[in-house]
């Protein structure tokens, strides 16, 4: 069965890039416009992995991760942060709220798929 990925990013271009790259790699992909939209789609999608940006309107990536980790059903779902940010303080904050990994944009498709396969194994 295909692994399901919920990709959360406010950039339509990035959502499209993730959708096509991950679909081509054999994943089932659902996209969300921001953290709030991601939370609204979470239960319908039941993802095996979540990919989220940090800087988004309505609910940023940190808030989104915190809310996912409070949900008993999704508490253990791996969450990869995919962002243009690279500061160690932001990486530490993401880890402290429950992120599994950090990838800096622009992403390399092969490395992203490898990271997903490592956390979903």
pLDDT tens across 85-113, in order?
Answer: 889 999 999 999 999 999 989 889 999 99
Rounded to two decimals, the pTM is: 0.95
Question: In this structure, what DSSP letter does residue 101 have?
Answer: E
Q: Which SS3 state, helix, strand or coil, does residue 10 take?
A: coil
Q: Which SS3 state, helix, strand or coil, does residue 31 take?
A: strand
Contact 35/56 with Cβ under 8 angstroms? yes
Domain positions in the chain? 4-106
**For the structural domain made of 4-106, what CATH number should be given?**
3.40.50.2300
Q: How many residues does the chain have?
A: 121
Q: Which SS3 state, helix, strand or coil, does residue 99 take?
A: coil
Condensed to tens digits (0 to 9), the pLDDT of residues 24-74 reads 999 999 999 999 999 999 999 999 999 999 999 999 999 999 999 999 999
């Amino acid at each position: 069965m295909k692994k399901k990925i919920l990709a959360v990013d406010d950039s339509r271009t990035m959502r499209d890039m993730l959708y096509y790259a991950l679909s081509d790699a054999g994943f089932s992909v659902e996209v969300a416009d921001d953290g709030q939209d991601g939370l609204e789609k979470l239960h319908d999608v039941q993802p095996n992995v979540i990919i989220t940006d940090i800087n988004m309107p309505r609910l940023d990536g940190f808030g989104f991760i915190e809310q996912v980790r409070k949900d008993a059903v999704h508490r253990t779902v791996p969450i990869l942060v995919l962002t243009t940010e690279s500061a160690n303080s932001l990486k530490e904050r993401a880890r402290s709220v429950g992120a599994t990994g950090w990838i800096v944009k622009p992403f390399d498709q092969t490395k992203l798929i490898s990271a997903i396969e490592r956390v979903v194994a």
